[in-house]
């Protein structure tokens, strides 16, 4: 019977502590008075809680419940090198006796490195530090900017407000599918290509005090005047391109218009012998480039042999051309390879 009781007590000593209280295992040579003093409880309460009638009779291996309602919380502490029980107790604002009772420690002077101690439910646990969030980059709107690169924390509405541009315009110009999701590093155009070309032309006009190249919105009287040469020529529009050589079509003469305040004068420039260069579907009369409104204009034939004008603005790296109605189209950046080559060749020649 005695052996059976000792076996039950040993199993209880190895069983984890219940969440509602603390148990201790009697060590060899310990008395009930030693246990009461160690854990700061009265011997009478210890005897009453464990049903002990004789304070001089406790057996090694016996498990005793401790009064005081010490219960384990969620906190745990892994003992590191240099840790002491008093230091651990101070760290979590609990008593050494609570730690001893909760973890069944027989000595306050002995804890082992790597040992995991349960912490009482009243332990003050360190608060997890909030993750540092990166501060958004402020928007520095530059005057006359044509694009903006999205930085951290910037939204479409903030960019719209900074540049004083309707958010609907930003969405339309940049073909944005989801206005609420604009990725960092995205380059947003602040105005359309047509608007940029108009602003560039206006700047060149103010610098040279000359009339800009015609656009469809300008009066028709400002279109380049077509001057028929005195020699007999064949109308390019009436002849198929395969039957007409570029040399057979005489270049048209561009009449630059000046805007002197006293009077307006129109000067006729006699054409030079044609020197045709091929750029994609175009035949450009290279010897008859004329300066006009800060740009360079040259007579040109399209693939159908029809006459038109091509203009290049080297400062803006833009190109323009007249349509079938003789009106200038919008300035655009060269798109195709032959347009890029044309702009490059003309601007290189103009510098030399």
Task: Tell me the percentage of the chain whose pLDDT exceeds 70.
Answer: 71
CA distance 100 to 116: 13
259 with 187, same domain?
no
Q: Which residue has the tokens 């402020």?
A: 138
Residue 135 covered by a domain:
no
255 with 341, same domain?
yes
93 with 162, same domain?
no
68 with 159, same domain?
no
pLDDT in tens, 54-76: 888 888 888 888 876 677 888 99
Residue 97: give its domain's CATH number. Answer: 3.10.350.10
More confident residue, 270 or 340: 340
95 with 187, same domain?
no
345 with 221, same domain?
yes
Overall number of domains in the chain:
3
Where are any strands of DSSP class E within the chain?
Answer: 22-25, 63-66, 72-78, 116-120, 147-149, 187-189, 276-279, 282-285, 290-292, 295-301, 307-313, 318-321
39 with 116, same domain?
yes
How do beta strands 282-285 and 63-66 pair?
unpaired
pLDDT in tens, 8-56: 334 333 333 333 457 888 888 888 888 888 887 888 888 888 888 888 8
Say if residue 264's pLDDT is above 80: no
CA distance 69 to 120: 10
- For residue 320, name the pLDDT band (cuts at 50, 70, 90): very high
Residue 80 covered by a domain:
yes
Nearest to 125 by CA among 171, 83, 76: 76
Residue 321 covered by a domain:
yes
329 with 238, same domain?
yes
63 strand-pairing partners: 25
Say if residue 93's pLDDT is above 70: yes
pLDDT in tens, 234-244: 333 333 434 33
Nearby residues of 131 by Cβ (< 8 Å), 6 or more positions away? none
116 with 165, same domain?
no
58 with 182, same domain?
no
Residue 132 covered by a domain:
no
Q: How confident is the model at residue 194, as a pLDDT?
A: 53
159 with 241, same domain?
no
Per the CB < 8 A criterion, the answer to whether 156 and 139 are in contact is: no
CA distance 241 to 219: 32
Residue 134 covered by a domain:
no
- What are the CA-CA distances from residue 293 to residues 39, 224, 256, 297 (Å)? 100, 12, 8, 10
Tell me the pLDDT of the chain averaged across its residues: 74
Which two three-digit tokens encode residue 116?
């995991």
47 with 84, same domain?
yes
Say if residue 276's pLDDT is above 80: yes
CA distance 106 to 100: 7
pLDDT in tens, 187-206: 888 876 555 455 555 544 44
Q: In terms of residue numbers, what domain contains 50?
A: 2-120
């Amino acid at each position: 019977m005695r052996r059976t009781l000792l076996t039950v007590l040993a199993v209880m000593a190895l069983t984890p502590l219940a969440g509602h209280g603390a148990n201790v295992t009697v060590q060899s040579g310990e008395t009930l008075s030693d246990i009461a003093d160690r854990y700061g409880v009265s011997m009478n309460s210890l005897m009453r809680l464990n049903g002990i009638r004789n304070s001089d009779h406790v057996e090694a291996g016996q498990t005793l419940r401790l009064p005081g309602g010490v219960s384990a919380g969620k906190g745990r502490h892994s003992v590191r090198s240099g840790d002491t029980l008093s230091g651990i107790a101070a760290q979590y604002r609990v008593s050494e006796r609570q730690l001893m009772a909760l973890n069944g420690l027989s000595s306050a002077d002995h804890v082992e490195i790597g040992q995991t101690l349960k912490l009482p439910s009243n332990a003050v646990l360190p608060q997890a530090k909030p993750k540092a969030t990166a501060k958004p980059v402020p928007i520095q709107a530059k005057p006359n900017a044509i694009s903006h690169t999205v930085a951290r924390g910037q939204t479409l509405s903030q960019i719209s407000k900074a540049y004083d541009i309707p958010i609907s315009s930003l969405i339309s110009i940049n073909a944005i599918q989801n206005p609420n999701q604009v990725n960092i590093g995205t380059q947003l155009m602040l105005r359309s290509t047509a608007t940029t070309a108009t602003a560039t032309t206006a700047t060149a006009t103010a610098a040279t005090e000359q009339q800009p190249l015609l656009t469809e919105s300008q009066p028709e009287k400002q279109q380049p005047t077509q001057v028929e040469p005195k020699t007999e020529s064949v109308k390019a529009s009436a002849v198929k391109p395969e039957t007409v050589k570029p040399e057979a079509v005489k270049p048209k003469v561009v009449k630059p218009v000046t805007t002197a305040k006293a009077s307006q004068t129109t000067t006729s420039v006699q054409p030079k012998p044609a020197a045709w260069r091929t750029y994609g579907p175009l035949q450009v009369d290279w010897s008859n480039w004329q300066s006009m409104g800060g740009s360079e204009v040259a007579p040109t034939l399209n693939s159908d042999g029809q006459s038109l004008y091509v203009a290049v603005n080297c400062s803006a790296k833009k190109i323009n051309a007249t349509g079938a109605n003789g009106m200038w189209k919008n300035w655009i950046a060269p798109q195709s390879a032959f347009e890029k080559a044309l702009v490059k060749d003309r601007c290189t020649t103009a510098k030399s």
